[in-house]
Amino acid sequence: MKMLYGVCTVMAVGLIVFIGQKFFGSVESKSDQLPKKFGHYQSLDSLKTIRSGKVSMELLLESTEDIQYFLTPENEVIAYGVAGQMRNIFIKISPGGTVLDSLVINAKPLSLAFVKGYIVNKDENQYYRWSFDGNRHPFSISLQNEQFEWDTQKQQALFDSIVKESPTVVIDYGTASPEPVKSSTGELQTIPAMQTFTAMTYFVKNKCFKFFTTLNVHRQFPYAYTEELLLNSLFKKINNNISGNREIIKTPAIRYRYFQKLKPEKVRFSGGGGNTPGFTKLIFHGNLFTDVIYKNDTLKLKEFMYLEEGWHASQIEIDGKNIGTLTKNKVQPPHYIDAYLYYTNPQLAYALFSNDDKKLYLIK
């Protein structure tokens, strides 16, 4: 009798497990069986060069910061990346897809501004015209009203001239602490109030100037102006109607085909700070399979990622459906994969591709 009871118990438990897996799924479920047509896709995680027919895609640049770009009037692409903390690397790509030249500047990345092809070292008050003429040597920036000795009328005259004549103006704000003034008896007087100012770095006929002014420049040069000026992307454009206001320029050259779920995992994430409680998410380890079309060939790529289906932060769609949020890690802060990036134009004999803002591939 006891034996019969035990057998019944085992059967009942087995039935419950079967029903749970059937109707509610299981965190221990098996991985998706990969369709045969995706079996020959090549891995972006392990290969620096991927080939298909007459076309190859090669990793050209990796950076610790987001890579910036500029297209010169001669259709040469300048790509700017950072290696480590101080090594700023600029490469020049010909319209035919070969690297023509490179420039390395050792400086803190925050001290440099990449402005319509000009490279400005704000700390050293120097600028480079290398993107246009190949000259590796910096030029001095002409400083104007550095000691704030100009009256309002003189400042306004130059400001009006800049607005009229300069197509490129970089706006930075700062504060100055005047030195205490001594009285006739030698005693220190009250320290004057801290002064706020604007540093306007501008270009006129290939020459660079920096104008220090106490005028209000916000109406003519709002934050949106500087943001657009320093976007430096061939892949994205400003769109203030979306989160992060950087919109990826879509292309039919990229077709997301399939996401293979390898295994699910419940991951515990901490809150956003303060007393914000933590939360648990179900994510899937897996591979994203993608076709990248260039001319008459198709590069077939796969990349390992993590998928969270409940939140649609990524722009990746398969068969017209957003599949969720894709990341390259499963910890905070998450390394999001928004979408793949692709750029070419009729004047270029190649295309640029990126699966990450910090990586650049060349297709030709």
Q: What CA–CA distance (Å, rounded) separates 252 from 256?
A: 10
pLDDT per residue over 131-180, tens digit each?
999 999 999 999 999 999 999 999 999 999 999 999 999 999 998 766 66
Pairing status of strand 42-43 against strand 297-308: parallel
Question: What is the reported pLDDT for 10?
Answer: 41
3-state SS class at 226: helix
Question: What is the reported pLDDT for 19?
Answer: 38
Question: CA 333, 339, 340, 345 torsion: positive or negative?
Answer: negative
Phi-psi region of 233 (alpha: psi -120 to 50; beta: other; left: phi over 0): beta
Q: Is the CB of residue 119 less than 8 Å from the CB of residue 90?
A: yes
Q: What CA–CA distance (Å, rounded) separates 278 from 290?
A: 34
Share of the chain above pLDDT 90, in %: 76
Q: What CA–CA distance (Å, rounded) separates 100 from 74?
A: 13
CA-wise closest residue to 347 among 73, 118, 53:
73
Question: What is the reported pLDDT for 178?
Answer: 63
Q: What CA–CA distance (Å, rounded) separates 235 from 90?
A: 18
- The residue-averaged pLDDT of 231-236 equals 97
Question: What is the reported pLDDT for 202?
Answer: 98
Question: What is the reported pLDDT for 12?
Answer: 44
- Token pair, residue 203, equals 């270009």
pLDDT per residue over 257-310, tens digit each?
999 999 999 988 776 656 667 778 899 999 999 999 999 999 999 999 999 999
Question: What is the reported pLDDT for 49?
Answer: 96
Q: What CA–CA distance (Å, rounded) separates 162 from 319?
A: 51
- Token pair, residue 317, equals 């769609």
Phi-psi region of 81 (alpha: psi -120 to 50; beta: other; left: phi over 0): beta
With a cut of 90, say whether residue 55 has pLDDT above it: yes
Question: What is the reported pLDDT for 188?
Answer: 58
Q: What CA–CA distance (Å, rounded) separates 297 from 54?
A: 7
Question: What is the reported pLDDT for 297?
Answer: 96
- The residue-averaged pLDDT of 41-47 equals 96
Question: Taking the domains of the chain in order of start, what are their residue ranges?
Answer: 36-54+251-363
Q: What is the DSSP letter of 114?
A: E
| Ranges 28-37, 115-124, 191-200, 271-280, most confident | 115-124
CA-wise closest residue to 113 among 105, 122, 104, 126:
122
Mean pLDDT of the chain: 89
Question: What is the reported pLDDT for 275?
Answer: 65
Q: What CA–CA distance (Å, rounded) separates 23 from 5?
A: 27
Question: What is the reported pLDDT for 179?
Answer: 62
- The residue-averaged pLDDT of 59-65 equals 97
Question: What is the reported pLDDT for 301?
Answer: 98
pTM of the model: 0.86
Please, which pLDDT band fits residue 356 given cuts at 50, 70 and 90? very high
Buried (b) or exposed (e) across 263-301, using 16+ Cβ within 10 A? ebeeeeeeeeeeeeeeeebebbbbbbbbebbbeeeebbb
